[in-house]
Amino acid sequence: MATVYVPTPIRRLTGGQAKVDVAGANVADLIQAVDAAYPGVAERLLDDDGNLKRFINVFVNDDEIRTLDGLATPVGEKDKISIVPAMAGGSSNRTENRRE
């Protein structure tokens, strides 16, 4: 089984687990397997068309799946799949926040 590393914002759906082991032939299968065990995970990761949401990055080992075969990227039993939400926010003008 592959190991899926769950980001902190989604861990409430996995009972606080930081990683789960699931079986599947590709990334899409793994997401569905995690969602079957922990309902609600897929809706956090996939859009209405079943594609990965643009602010979610998924890595198989060290490779981002968008540079591979996307959700069809094959996975092996010893692979590590990391789900990484994109970070956003902050000020575009750093001097605004500086005290003088």
| Predicted confidence (pLDDT) per residue in 39-79, tens digit | 999 999 999 999 999 999 999 999 999 999 999 999 999 99
Whole domain around residue 49: which residue ranges? 2-87
Q: Which residue type, as a one-letter code, is found at position 24?
A: G
In terms of pLDDT, which residue wins out, 14 or 100? 14
On whether residue 44 sits in a domain, the answer given is yes
Q: How confident is the model at residue 87 (pLDDT cuts 50, 70, 90)?
A: confident
> Helix, strand or coil for residue 9?
helix
Mean pLDDT of 24-35: 97
> Within 13 A of 6's CA, how many CA atoms are on the CB side?
24
The enclosing domain of 37 has a CATH number of 3.10.20.30
Q: What are 22's strand-pairing partners?
A: 2
Does pTM surpass 0.75? Answer: yes
Mean pLDDT of the chain: 91
Query: How many folded domains does the chain comprise?
Result: 1
Mean pLDDT of 4-11: 96
On whether residue 94 sits in a domain, the answer given is no
pLDDT at 100 over 50: no
Q: How confident is the model at residue 7 (pLDDT cuts 50, 70, 90)?
A: very high
| Closest C-alpha among 11, 42, 15 to residue 29 | 42
